[in-house]
Structures are given as structure tokens and as C-alpha cells.
Structure 1
């Protein structure tokens, strides 16, 4: 595994520092996913039987980042139950609970004592991507920015204005009245130098956006456009189901190519499926789930220990842990 390095641009002498830590945002309520996150934190929703946050860990570790910090709030016990020894594989995870939500800026400040020594990465917990993080880290390494954002050319939320010559962000949603509402999608991934922590409000709930605006004024917020790889925000059920369909038809994500030859198989080996049930490739049947005789499952995700009654037909449905689905259902979460 390669070590990734970043420059400490604020020291009197240039030195190379390994980027080892990532703060993965895991405390959000997942309100756009509605029923799906009633009993799960958003980053723990299963994607082909694997919690979404584990894709983040795999992606980060590919770039040499092997220490994770995750903030928690809603259904925090789910993290503890799943990661019983506070590790993912050999890599340590530090969970930091927020009894009251602190938003992005407050969440980063709340773990600042764990991030204050070296450059670090911040990674949204509801994204699924295999964009090359190394490009972001190299760009951050080569430029004197407190923070460097990873951007995409395409996306539904193109709110970042970027001066392509200087590589500096000039506005966000025209909040600085530059007249530029933005042309680039923010991916939710950004590299930070420790000095960024000094711009945060201590022990106070706040968004990171006003902090970014201050950095823009001081010309300390940079960005790089990375269109290689794929990127999704899985914060909606539509995107969640679409991702299963696209994943089943592609080699994405490239960091899991060698994970398991059959990891995209549409069922857990510990599920019970009637021989005459039909399940398309864009669906997944979770561990301990059962599918009755004659059932037809189309682009649907059946979570662990749930049940689909015989002769039922499900189209773009999600059946949550331990629930029962019956009849002809379409675009319904059970």
C-alpha cells in the first residue's frame, strides 16, 4: 500500500507528511431516505449486502489512509454492534458520539484533538465513489490551501465557482455575491491542513459552508476537478436503487475488483430462495431473508431477516430488516 504525502504549507520549512487519517461523516439523520434510516444511520444502509460506510473505508485505504474517525448520533448503537472491536479489518476506527447534532463544522471541531497534528481528509458518509483520491491529495500537496475540495463537472448540485487558472474557489451558491452561482458539483470529499481547524467555532453547532466562505476571502480554499471514476450521493431512495442497478452492470467500484469474485451476486449465501423465484441482477437478497415460491424481485433490495411471500412481485422496493412484503408492490419501502 502506497503512503500518501501532503505538504505542510504553513510551516517555515517545507516538510512531507503522510496523510493517514480520514474523518467520515456518520451522524446525519438521513431524512431524505425516510423509512430506510428509521433504525439505521445513513452510512450503514446495505449496498449489495455491505454497509455503505465500508465502501468508504475500502476507498480510503486504497489511497493509504488507514485510520478512521466517525461521528455518530442517530442509532449510534448500530455502529457499535457492527464494528465490535472498533476496527474495519486491520484499520482502527474512533467513534465520536454527538448527543446533539453539531453539523459539519461542529462535527469536525468536535474531533479536532484527533486531527490537529497532520493533514487529513474529510469524507461524506452518504456517497459511493471510486474517484482517484490520490489526485486530490497530490493537488493539495502542491498548493498552499487550507482546504482543497474534490469537484465533478457533472451533478445535480453544481454550486461551486472555481477559477480554473488559479485553482481557487471563488464562491459557493453566489453567497459572496460574485454573480457566479457555480459550475461544479462538490463531491463531499476534501483534504485539509490542520490550520483549517482554527477557523472552526469551538463547541458550537455550525455548518462548514460559512467557514469555506471565509477561506475563499483569504484565498485559502482550493479545488480540483476529478471526473475520473464514478460518484453517487446515496442520500435518496432513487439514487440508492439506481446504484444497485448500475453496480450490477459495471466494474465499479474499481477498488473492490479483487474483493470477491462474486461479491455482486444478487443474494447472500445465507438467504433462502425458492427455486422458482425470479430475482434480477439489480436486486439483492440479504442474509437470513427468504423469498417465497413464484416471487419476482425487480431492482429491489431485501434486507436481512426479511420475507417476501410466495407469488409476490416487487418492483423498486426496499424491504427492511425483519419486515414482510406481500402482493404486487412498486416503489414502496416496507
Structure 2
């Protein structure tokens, strides 16, 4: 089976961060976002992946290369003009061939069992299978409703309060397609697979199913989502490993785990880092600085005495995600003489 990662978008909801790099390369725990989905595909035996490119596409191509270091062969589909999700899939018809194929959005994190998904798809003789999850925010994402067999009956409709016999879900950003879907695409070049195609398939009684997934999932589409996902992941890992040779921490530094600190970072005297902080490689933290619930990208610098909370800091800018910009760390620091983890 082959797969495609949709990576051509402009990343407008992540601006100004995406003024510097394309969304698929924004760091999550100091690792480019797209690498998580590449690893997911590789772990499940997929060896050929297509990536469509438009906005800052050269940066993505330069970073991923031919895919060999990920155990994959990566094919690139350049889009001088954006084709939309449907047009991007249609363009790769010859790449997908005659077997089922997977399509995944570049701006999500998911830890799904793809083998179980394939079994579900085959057992239903599905034309298309969408990975769905319980819908906590129907207004934001739109509702997809399935019957008791999992077949999709209503697509991106309004939230209904009356009893319909259908179960509402939300789309996660992952599809599995039978190759015959490519025969039913619109003739136009640019279109959206969800908005322009699924509704037609459902009206035409195509076998479109929803595979319900209740495990880990994050959408990193907005700035708030991006910060939340990083902090949630660092909490899950509970990082508190000591790598003294890789990070220089001066006297009196206090670390409140969980924190992730990249190699080559220097932390000034009496600085307080954490909890819930992700710091990239080669950063500079000034004397007496205090950092909580924030992200510093590679090469970022924080001046002496600075206090930051709920911020994203790059080499070129700071983004604050709440009105209260400053917050002191907890009164009882957990760790003296820091426990420091080297990021990948």
C-alpha cells in the first residue's frame, strides 16, 4: 500500500510562525511535525509516500530528501498553483496504481493502528473509509454521521438535536481509498475531496464508511492547538533525563519537569525552567529568566530576567497566546542542578 501526506497548504492559521517555515516542518518536541506521520507510515509497512508541495516546498524537500533515512521512498508532487486536497490526490493517480491507498493531513498527530484500519476497510468492501472520532467541537469541524454499521449517511451537516438514529463524529484528517475512487473525481483540476466529492459519493450510494478511532489525536492547525499539543506531549513523556555534556547550565539553575531541552543550549545562573517547557537546540537562556508553558525554537534567545508564560519564541519573533504574559513558576521548584534531556 502507498500513502500520501497533504503538505502543500499555506499554513495561514499558524502565522506568523509559518512566515519562517512551512507548517509540516514546525517542531513538535523539537522534531518536525511531518516526521511523526512518516514514522507512523513506516512502522506499518508502508514504503512509498507521496508529499505534495507548494508553499515553501523546497524547504520540505531539502529536509526530507529521498526519504531513505526514514526507511521510505518519498515522491514529490509540485503544485505551482494549489490544487486543493482532491486535485492533489487526482494528480497522483499513476503513483497510487491499482491498490488501496492512504491519505493523511500533514498537520495532525495520530497513533492509529493502520493494520486494523485496512482490515475494517476490506471487511466492508469500502469505496472510501474516513477515520472518525468523537466530536467535541461540531461547530468547528463539522459533523459526519454514521449508521449502526459504520456507513456514512450524513456529511458535514448541521448539528441536529432531534433523534435521527445516526451517530455524529468528526473527521481526523485520514482517509483510506479504494483505487476506483480516482475514476469518479471531477474533471476540474482544483477541488476539495471533502466538500466537493464525498457528498456526491454518499448521494450516489457509494460505500463510504467511518472507522471510529478513540486514541491519541491532535490537530495542530492553529497557534493555540500547536502550543497545546507540544505541552501535552511533554507532559506525557515526563522528560527529566540528565545529559550534562550536551547542555550548559550555570549555578543555581532550577528545572521543574517536565521539560525538553535541546543540545547546545546554555542556561544562565538562577534561571528557572518549567514546568511544561520545550526548548530547542542552541538556545540561550539569560540569567534569572523564568519560563513556564512555552516553546523556544532552535536558536532562540531569552534575555536576563525575562519572564515568559504561554509563549512561542523563535529566532525572530515572540508570540503570546494569552493576555497574562508573565507567570512565575511554582513556589516549590522540583529539581536543583538541572535534569536535562537532549532533544533528537
Instruction: Determine the structure 2 residue equivalent to 1:224.
Output: 211
Instruction: Determine the structure 2 residue equivalent to 1:160.
Output: 144
8 Å contact kept, 2:279–2:298:
yes
Q: Residues of 2 paired with 1:71 and 1:47: CA distance?
A: 21
Distance 1:155 1:67, change over 3 A: farther
Moved segments of 4+, more than 3 Å: 84-88, 179-182, 329-333
8 Å contact kept, 2:26–2:33:
yes
Distance 1:203 1:154, change over 3 A: closer
Structure 1 stretches of 5 or more lacking a match?
1-18, 253-263
Distance 1:330 1:226, change over 3 A: closer
Instruction: Determine the structure 2 residue equivalent to 1:239.
Output: 225
Q: Residues of 2 paired with 1:81 and 1:151: CA distance?
A: 33
Distance 1:325 1:72, change over 3 A: closer
State how many pairs are aligned.
296
Distance 1:151 1:52, change over 3 A: same
The match for 1:34 among 3, 15, 33 is 15
The match for 1:68 among 49, 72, 75 is 49
Instruction: Determine the structure 2 residue equivalent to 1:197.
Output: 182
**1:207-218 to 2 correspondence within 5 Å?**
207-209=192-194, 210-217=196-203, 218=205
**How far 1:133 sits from its partner (Å)?**
2.4
8 Å contact kept, 2:259–2:273:
no
8 Å contact kept, 1:160–1:186:
yes
**1:14-29 to 2 correspondence within 5 Å?**
19=1, 21-29=2-10
Q: CA RMSD in A?
A: 2.5
Distance 1:219 1:202, change over 3 A: closer
**How far 1:62 sits from its partner (Å)?**
2.1
Instruction: Determine the structure 1 residue equivalent to 2:170.
Output: 185
Larger radius of gyration: 2
- Match of 1:23, SS state, is strand
**How far 1:33 sits from its partner (Å)?**
1.2
State the TM-score, normalized to the length of structure 1: 0.82
Instruction: Determine the structure 1 residue equivalent to 2:293.
Output: 299
